Amino acid sequence: MEEPLGDDERETFGLEPEEAQNIRADLEDLEGMRRTFQGQGVKGVVIACERCEENHYYEWDLLMENLEHMLQTGESQMHEPAFEVREEEYIQWDYGKGYVDALADAGLEPDNRVEVTRCPWCGTPAEDHFQFCPKCGRSFGAVRIYKELVDRGLDEREVRAMLVRAGFEPF
């Protein structure tokens, strides 16, 4: 019986190994950009097309699906242009990639984000990319700072006192 193929060993139709590796890297970059920017209201990326010299707007899931399809079939999918695009809701691919790379170089990868799953003030569940509680509107910034400092070994009471002295609301 043959062993199942790993991600890097799967057959990619019509793609050279280097092309397939580049698409896998783009998928990783896209996920990093999504984790970094989605919580700020960014809907996706805009890519400047060299062929038609137009900007193409992709929401996160659409571009992820297109890249996965290209990896599986060797061909890109056609897609409908974004409807009534608001350019300010999208980031340029090159900008997003550079930003995420700079975070990684500084040791601030989006994967290392401090997770908040529930508002400490009102108890409302929250997704990890939320910056604010969806019910009471309070910022999760102080909670993330608190968790990070406690994880680094600082005393919980000292951290809470520090945050209050800095002007954060107690939680």
Q: pLDDT per residue over 99-130, tens digit each?
A: 999 988 887 766 666 889 999 999 999 987 78
Number of domains observed in the structure of the chain: 2
127-151: average pLDDT: 91
The structure's pTM equals: 0.62
Contact between 67 and 93 under an 8 Å Cβ cutoff? The reply is no
Tell me the β-bridge partners of 132: 139
Dihedral sign (CA 19, 20, 21, 27)? positive
Contact between 67 and 21 under an 8 Å Cβ cutoff? The reply is no
141 domain residue, yes or no: yes
The last residue of a domain, from among 63, 92, 108:
108
94 and 51, same domain (yes or no)? yes
Instruction: Give Cα 99 distance to the centre of its chain.
Output: 11
- Which residue range(s) make up the domain with 28? 17-108
47 domain residue, yes or no: yes
78 domain residue, yes or no: yes
Q: Is the pLDDT of residue 10 over 60?
A: no
